[in-house]
């Protein structure tokens, strides 16, 4: 299938320039649109160029290079995203208990860790070695989206500020970086790492829930 035969992702407004500083949600949407366009091209059997991806995502080449210093990094990110897409489905089927939802998310991620960790190591190396600057985080936007979705039921109780703090704290203990530490530094296998990561995540959620409900007027 040629790139022109692929439908542009709907519901993802993308500016033609990099999002300005201070708007992380918009930057994540822009990055997500670029990666989803790349994934569509790869799934169609294409060998996409930057021009193909820019046309499908409705952004400029300059915007793509703001988020991805190289085409290799973008293609790797898209390939990893395609393999990990079942996290969204698992959360859609989960209940409303945030502890159960975050446990489900971690279980799904760790179930694929043997297959995805080598790619994760490569992506981390690419982003760490890339020049400083650019529009916001170089990786992890999927992780943030998943964590936000997993604990969404307690957003009203926590309020906006404490909700974002919890998302940030959970981002530290959930992801490839945590698995690399537990594997390389602690010598754990995937099951042992999952147990530690799950316990840490639940501790953070429980600590957040022990605080008084947020004042609606001071979110």
Determine the pLDDT at residue 160: 93
Determine the pLDDT at residue 119: 72
| Cβ pair 76, 122 in contact under 8 A | yes
Determine the pLDDT at residue 131: 64
For the chain, the 3-state helix, strand and coil shares in percent, each to the nearest 5, are 70, 0, 30
Interaxial angle between packed helices 155-173 and 141-150, expressed in degrees from 0 to 180 and rounded to the nearest 10: 140
Q: pTM, whole model, 2 decimals?
A: 0.68
Determine the pLDDT at residue 87: 82
| Cβ pair 201, 170 in contact under 8 A | yes
Determine the pLDDT at residue 84: 64
Instruction: Sort 117 into a burial class: Cβ within 10 Å, 0-12 / 13-18 / 19+.
Output: middle
CA pair distance 46, 78, nearest whole angstrom: 13
CA pair distance 181, 179, nearest whole angstrom: 5
Determine the pLDDT at residue 93: 85
| Cβ pair 143, 171 in contact under 8 A | yes
Structure-derived torsion over alpha carbons of residues 128, 116, 165, 130, reported in degrees to the nearest 10? 10
172-193 exposure pattern, b = at least 16 Cβ within 10 A, e = fewer: ebbbbbbbeebbeeeebebeeb
Per-residue pLDDT tens listing for the chain (219 residues): 444 444 444 444 333 334 434 477 788 889 889 988 998 888 787 788 999 999 999 999 999 999 888 888 888 878 777 666 678 888 888 889 999 999 999 998 888 777 777 777 877 877 777 666 655 556 667 788 889 999 999 999 999 999 999 999 999 999 889 999 999 999 999 899 999 999 999 999 999 999 988 776 665
| Cβ pair 56, 3 in contact under 8 A | yes
| Cβ pair 77, 68 in contact under 8 A | yes
Q: Which of 65, 75, 70, 181 is nearest to 129 (CA)?
A: 70
Q: Which of 208, 212, 22 is nearest to 102 (CA)?
A: 208
| Cβ pair 83, 112 in contact under 8 A | yes
């Amino acid at each position: 299938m040629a790139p022109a035969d692929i439908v542009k992702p709907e519901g993802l407004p993308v500016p033609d320039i990099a999002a300005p500083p201070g708007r992380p949600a918009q930057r994540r949407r822009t990055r997500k649109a670029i990666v989803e366009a790349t994934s569509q091209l790869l799934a169609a059997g294409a060998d996409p160029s930057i021009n193909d991806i820019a046309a499908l995502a409705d952004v400029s080449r300059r915007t793509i290079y703001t988020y991805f210093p190289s085409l290799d990094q973008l293609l790797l990110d898209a390939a990893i995203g395609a393999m990990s897409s079942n996290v969204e489905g698992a959360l859609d089927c989960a209940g409303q208990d945030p502890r159960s939802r975050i446990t489900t998310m971690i279980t799904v991620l760790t179930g694929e860790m043997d297959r995805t960790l080598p790619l994760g190591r490569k992506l981390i190396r690419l982003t760490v070695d890339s020049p400083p600057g650019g529009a916001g985080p170089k990786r992890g936007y999927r992780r943030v989206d998943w964590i936000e979705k997993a604990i969404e039921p307690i957003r009203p109780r926590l309020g906006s500020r404490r909700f974002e703090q919890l998302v940030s704290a959970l981002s530290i203990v959930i992801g490839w970086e945590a698995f690399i530490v537990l594997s390389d530094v602690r010598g754990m296998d995937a099951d042992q790492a999952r147990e530690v990561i799950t316990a840490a995540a639940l501790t953070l959620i429980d600590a957040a829930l022990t605080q008084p409900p947020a004042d609606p007027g001071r979110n």
